[in-house]
Amino acid sequence: MYSRPFAGNTRSSRELWGELDAPTLCLELERQVVNETTNDITDCRHTANLHPSTSSRPTYAKVEYALEAISHAGTALGILANDGIVLAAERKVTSKLLEQDTSAEKLYTLNDNMICAVAGMTADANILINYARQAAQRYLLTYNADIPCEQLVRRLCDLKQGYTQHGGLRPFGVSFIYAGWDPQRQFQLYQSNPSGNYGGWKATSVGANNASAQSLLKQDYDENCNLKQACELAVRTLSKTMDSTKLSSEKIEFATVGKTPNGTIYHHLWGADEIEALLKEHGLAKENTEETTEQAMGSAGYAENRPES
């Protein structure tokens, strides 16, 4: 496949290389590099022809398609406080038949000190989350310490970036918000997109109505807020960016990373009862009008069918 130096000569390559002066040697090496590069390009074009549906479009266009898919996903946001981090996200799949305690759609645990929120294609997110969990466990097994937050984010983003520069592949259609803690930088909040780019944030959001959520966070965020105030800001921001101003535990997911009084770091994915209590505390809970309507209809039917005395 690649060109070999002095093809057709019976003498060894070492002898032939030794007879060349420096300028000729440089020219010969440059010629080989050009030939090998040309062969690589030819092979890549051949691979692209085998997969025209995925390789005919430029890489930047495919990244734009991934970002477009994310813009239709449920809103997810993260807020950094002095004593912790809060992640909140909008559920798109809602049903009374859904087991909420075992069917996380937007929030996931990466290791003991990190959690994440996703927006986009959940199937793609599951692949990346499993990769991040394995990377965190390998680091823990090797060094007997939890992996630093930014290092884990960078490893995940390196994988995502690799899928933007090879033919026949498409970028992962998902954006992440990472929340974690490590001894070097304490509490940290990061966001990454399908291109593999990432950055640290004090408050950020991804998904549908991202611009509105960012505007609200920029307006109301306080750098000196505590975890409780951050939770209030999160639910109020979601209530203004979602379709209805009244929320319920079926429509949102909530998680926090914090520190106990004795200094232990914890992460907590909130249950339905805890979310409902938070919503009621701030006057954002959705009233159960369906049960009231059914009771009223049942009372009316009983009144119609009641025998006369």
Q: What is the pLDDT of residues 257-287, one digit of tens each?
A: 999 989 899 999 999 899 999 999 988 887 7
Q: Give me the domain span that covers residue 227.
A: 65-291
Token pair for 131: 């990769």
User: Does one domain contain both 144 and 275?
Assistant: yes
User: Does one domain contain both 30 and 164?
Assistant: no
User: Does one domain contain both 50 and 70?
Assistant: no
- As a whole number of angstroms, the distance between CA 128 and CA 160 comes to 8
pTM summary value: 0.73
Residue 14 belongs to a domain: no
Residue 113: the pLDDT is: 93
CA proximity to 70, closest of 116, 126, 121, 107: 121
Residue 82 belongs to a domain: yes
User: Does one domain contain both 44 and 104?
Assistant: no
Alpha-helical (H) ranges within 56-209 are: 59-71, 122-143, 149-162
Residue 252 belongs to a domain: yes
Question: What is the amino acid identity at position 246?
Answer: K
User: Does one domain contain both 159 and 34?
Assistant: no
Residues of the chain with pLDDT under 50: 1-8, 10, 13-14, 17, 33-34, 36-55, 289-297, 299-300, 302-303, 309
**Cα torsion through 275, 114, 219, 243, rounded to 10:** -40
Residue 3 belongs to a domain: no
User: Does one domain contain both 52 and 69?
Assistant: no
Write down which residue in 33, 56, 79 finishes a domain.
56
Residue 35: the pLDDT is: 55
Residue 296 belongs to a domain: no
User: Does one domain contain both 220 and 139?
Assistant: yes
Residue 228 belongs to a domain: yes
The b-or-e profile of 32-57 (16+ CB within 10 A means b, else e) is eeeeeeeeeeeeeeeeeeeeeeebee
User: Does one domain contain both 210 and 271?
Assistant: yes
Residue 305 belongs to a domain: no
User: Does one domain contain both 46 and 138?
Assistant: no
User: Does one domain contain both 276 and 169?
Assistant: yes
Q: Do the beta carbons of residue 111 and residue 146 sit within 8 Å?
A: yes
Length of the chain (residues): 309
Residue 2 belongs to a domain: no
- As a whole number of angstroms, the distance between CA 6 and CA 26 comes to 14
User: Strand, coil or helix: what is 259?
Assistant: strand
Match 């990432």 to its residue by tokens.
Answer: 198
The number of distinct structural domains making up the chain is 2
Question: What is the amino acid identity at position 252?
Answer: I
User: Does one domain contain both 99 and 180?
Assistant: yes
Token pair for 67: 């970002």
Residue 69 vs residues 73, 74, 90, 163, 176: alpha-carbon distances, Å: 7, 11, 16, 17, 14
- As a whole number of angstroms, the distance between CA 249 and CA 31 comes to 66
Match 């992460």 to its residue by tokens.
Answer: 267
User: Does one domain contain both 81 and 191?
Assistant: yes
